[in-house]
Structures are given as structure tokens and as C-alpha cells.
Amino acid sequence: MSRLEQGFLAAGIAGLVLCALGVSLDAKAMLGAWLAAAIFALSFPLGALTILMVHGLTGGRWGEAVRQPLRIMIAMLPLALILLLPVLMRLDLVIPWAGADSAMLPEKVREKLAYLNVPFFLLRFAVCAAIWLVLAWMMVGPTAEDSAKTGKGRKYVFGLILHALAVSVFAIDWMLSLEPEFTSTIYALCEAAAEVVGAFALAVLVLAARRAVEVLPGGEEDVALSEDLANMQFGLVLIWIYLAFMQWIVVWGGDLPDEIHWYIVRATGGWQYLLWLLVALQAAVFASSLSRQLKRSHDGLIWLAGIVLAGHLADVFWRIRPPLFAGGPFGFWHDIAAWTCVGGLWLAVFLFLLRRPNTIVWWKREAAHG
């Protein structure tokens, strides 16, 4: 392992020790912090799956450029799913309806208990995980690169349908049900868009860190590959912003009490500053993406992708953490421990696979024969 990989691994282990201490002191607070970090880690392989399956149907030089880092993200799926296991073992501490007396729950929540019950929750998660693992198996192999060229891209249609259903169920179970009174028919789309934005931004960062993409040809004459990637990223960010804004405007226009409360929780108690930061980052991406000179610059591409990735992190933290947080400013040490552990372990494995891409193909080949 390189020194960088060793450093991230050491940070992950140190974070794990802190998390163990946090569980011993306040398991509920620690698992609440852990959930946000684990969902953030899972967003990258899920977003990468969406991007590669879409590219399998459409083709394009942009997808060929970011294929390798996206495949590495997909290979991280098993680790990301494992990171959710601590929460699964103590759902009653994180999800309000899991350990509560049904008679004490609001009437609106009791009406949903045919769906919101622990055995059904675990079954749905197992099905979603199985779907994703099968899709990941399909996407990381060398044959995935040739599927579109050989006319076998139809399988991506069915893959995208299954993936969309799995992401919808996951978003409802692990995010919306944290506040079961809240209802949104567009939330799963918002989550899927955020996953795609985060995965694509990370892929662009990795690609730009290894190659001078601004000198490579794009899809059209006199267009650099960096410009194509920046334009694609800008389009994905616009979709993400549009969906999030539509959810807000429907809640505001409908004057829905339970739905408004979801926003109040995230716009008070100091969380409004994180919201302002998120809006500022999105505005910076919007303004910067209008400059062709910036998009044709190596540093400009890294700048844009970095801002988008920071916005994705802020978005996940803003959506997941507020209803689970209780403890004042000092309570954030749980988040520091969780994100250090998850981030350190995830980056150590990601860099290890990134430096040794053939490991994924070898593992798949050995598993198929063994």
C-alpha cells in the first residue's frame, strides 16, 4: 500500500476506535451520525451504476473517459452496504417507528405501519442489496465496456428500471421514514439525482488528477473533453437543483403542515447556515459553468468538480442529520468520528483499487470459476 493509502487506513481505524467509544457513551447519537456518513458512502456506487447504465444506452466520449473511476466506485458497493449493518442491528435507536409503541405514534404514522415494520424493512433492504450487487457484477466486468458496441445495451434498460425501484425503496426506508409524517413523491428522484451528481463529480476529479483532459478531444470539433465533462456535470446539477426546488415549491404552495415541519427542522437551530452554504455552492457552480474558458482549463475543471462534490456532501448531511441530532455543538464529535472512520476506510480501499484496476476483473473471474 502507498503512504497515502496507509494514511487513510490509519485515519479510518482511529475513527473506528472513536466510534466504538461513542457507542459505549451514547449509542443513539453515534448511530445517528454514522447513518449520514454511511449513506454518503453508498451514494457513490449507486450514482455510478446509474451513469454507466445510461452511457451503455447512449454512448459518448464523456462516458468512456470516466468509465474507470466509475467502475471503481461500483466495486466499492459491498463495503458501502456493510457500513449500514451497525444501523440495521439497532434500528430502534435511529428510526422512530422501529422501537416505538404503535399506540403512541401519530395517527398518520399508524396508517403506514403495514409498510413501516422491521421484518418488512429488512426484507426490502435485502432485495435492494441483491439487485445492486447483481447490477454491480454486471457493470464491473470487461464485457460491460463492449455491450453497447455489440448491440447488447438492452440489458441496461431492465437494469435501470430495477435500479430506480431499488433507489426509491431505499430512499423511502432509510431517509423519509426518519420523519414518517413527511410525504414526498419526488424525494426518491431527488436522491437519485444527488447520487449521480456526486458520483460524476468524484469521477471527474479522479480523471483530472491523473490526466490533462483539457487537451483531449471532445465529442465535437473544437471542443475539449474537459468542456464536455463540465457541460455534462452542469446539466446533472441543474436537474438536481430543479427537483429539490420543485419539492420545496409544492410544499410551500400547498401549505402542508407536516411537510413544512420537515423544512423547519432543517432551517432552524443552526442548520440554516448549512442550507445557505449549499445554496451558495450551487450558485457558484451555476455561475462558473457559464464560462467556456474555465471549462477548458484543467484547474477550472477541478474547481467545478470540487464545488459540486462539496455541495453533495452538504446536501446529504443537511437532509439526513438534523432529525437525528441532539446534543448541542459538542454533539458534532460523533460526526467527526463517523466521517473519519467511513471516509478513511472508503478512501483507502478506493485508492487501492484505483491503483490496481485489474484486481476487480481478476476477482470477478476467480469468483465465476470458483
Residue 217 backbone phi and psi in degrees, to 5: -70, 145
Predicted pLDDT of residue 218 = 67
Tell me the residue type at 173: D
Pairwise pLDDT comparison (131 vs 58), residue with the higher score = 131
Using DSSP, state whether 217 is helix, strand or coil.
strand
At residue 337, what is the residue type? A
pLDDT higher than 60, residue 324: yes
Q: How far apart are CA 195 and CA 167, in angstroms?
A: 10
Read off the pLDDT of residues 243-298 as tens digits, 9 standing for 90 and up: 999 999 988 888 878 788 899 999 998 899 999 999 999 999 999 888 888 888 88
Q: Between the CA of residue 76 and those of 43, 52, 88, what are the distances in Å?
A: 11, 15, 19
Report CA-CA distances (Å) from 48 to 27, 61, 103, 151, 282.
Answer: 32, 16, 42, 21, 21
pLDDT for 171 equals 96
Amino acid letter at 244?
A
Beta pairing partners, 94: none
Distance, in Å, from the CA atom of 368 to the CA atom of 370, rounded to the nearest integer, reads 6
User: What confidence score (pLDDT) does residue 2 get?
Assistant: 81
pLDDT reported for residue 329:
73
Per-residue pLDDT of 208-221, as tens digits, reads: 888 887 767 666 66
DSSP state at residue 28: H
Cβ neighbors of 7 (< 8 A, separation 6 or more) are none
Residue pair 80/343 in contact (Cβ under 8 Å)? The answer is no
Chain segment 78-101, per-residue pLDDT in tens: 999 999 999 999 998 999 888 777
Give me the pLDDT at residue 162, please: 96
C-alpha cell at 79: 463495503
Return the residue matching grid coordinates 457493470: 139
Look at the block and give the residue holding cell 430502534: 92
CB atoms within 10 A of CB 313: 19
Which pLDDT band holds residue 112 (cuts at 50, 70, 90)? confident
The pTM (predicted TM-score) of the whole model is: 0.91
Mean pLDDT (the chain) is 88
Dihedral sign computed on CA atoms, order 266, 267, 273, 275: positive
* Type of residue found at 83: L
